[in-house]
Amino acid sequence: MPHSPPQDRSEPAQAPELLDQALRLLAGVRLAVLTGAGLSTDSGIPDYRGPTSVPRTPMTYQQFVSDPVLRRRYWARNHVGWRHMHRAAPNAGHFAIAGMEQAGLLTGLITQNVDRLHSEAGSRQVIDLHGRFDQVICLGCRRIISRSALAQRLEALNPGFAAGPSDAGDVAPDADADVGATDSFVVADCHVCGGMLKPHFVYFGENVPKDRVDAAYAMVDQAGALLVAGTSLTVMSGLRFVRHAAKSGTPVVIINRGITRGDELAAVKIDAGVSESLTFLATRLRAASG
């Protein structure tokens, strides 16, 4: 059943003057949008570095492929986290961006998130920069399978494993959940070649595929402004597009709770609720476009 957008919210009280400045910069041009984990917090998915996040050290690609104990622990945690992540629904911010695309206001959307909520909200021109949590890839034969199909196999191999996290704060944006002992967890291999399965998103220590990066740069180059929402820009994979836009003279507007690494490059920085701010901007930009 398709998700419906939540009711519109009023102008965020925290930053009315900054929102007006942003509107003046964004009106009349097509936008590229860059989003991060802070956009999905209103969907019940904690971000990595925000006030509701759970401190943790993400697994690296080398750890995943070289250490069977860590790999088993990862899959056990992911098995539990998946139950929460795949039930999350898009929030007002996701629908605001999808609405701007439908109104012809965007060159496209670059998201650092793997949760697929933008697509569920109706966005179509989406570059999933870091991949997708709803897919799994075999590192042997490179076959891609759905995460939901793997969930069924893992459940059969590990009936009743863990009751799941006690609340949303136990799950990271990549579906990594806090669980107890994992020594007994059975990991599934590729059902075709027996190879190692890995979530089809970019781990720390991996590079974003070049064609994906090039397509993202092209979106920014075609835009009259870059709108950044819900990311601290801590990692270079997102920050590079802000630097590229600023170097090219393309105005950058950032919406994020707290500081970001791109603040000094932004024409306007709005420290306010991401979903509320996006809804406000989208409503007025669509009205201005006729």
Question: Residue 133 is which amino acid?
Answer: F
78 is in an annotated binding site: no
Q: Are 137 and 144 in contact (CB under 8 A)?
A: yes
262 is in an annotated binding site: no
Q: E strands along the chain, which residues?
A: 31-35, 106-111, 126-128, 131-138, 144-146, 197-201, 225-229, 252-255, 268-270
Strand partners of residue 135? 146
| All residues at 6 or more sequence positions from 131 whose CB lies less than 8 Å from its CB, including other chains | 114, 199, 200, 201, 202
130 a catalytic residue: yes
113 is in an annotated binding site: yes
Q: What share of the chain is helix, strand, coil (3-state, %, to 5)?
A: 40, 15, 45
230 is in an annotated binding site: yes
Q: Are strands 144-146 and 225-229 parallel, antiparallel or unpaired?
A: unpaired
71 is in an annotated binding site: no
138 is in an annotated binding site: yes
Q: Are 46 and 172 in contact (CB under 8 A)?
A: yes
115 is in an annotated binding site: yes
Q: Are 257 and 12 in contact (CB under 8 A)?
A: no
274 is in an annotated binding site: yes
122 is in an annotated binding site: no
Q: Which of 94, 118, 130, 200 is catalytic?
A: 130
Between the alpha carbon of residue 263 and those of residues 112, 159, 219, 246, 281, the distances in Å are: 18, 48, 21, 11, 19
193 is in an annotated binding site: yes
141 is in an annotated binding site: yes
Between the alpha carbon of residue 93 and those of residues 40, 117, 118, 209, 282, the distances in Å are: 8, 10, 9, 27, 9
**Which residues are known to be catalytic?**
130
Annotated binding site for Zn(2+): 138, 141, 190, 193
The annotation places the binding site at: 112-115, 138, 141, 190, 193, 230-232, 256-258, 274
Write out the binding residues for NAD(+).
Answer: 112-115, 230-232, 256-258, 274
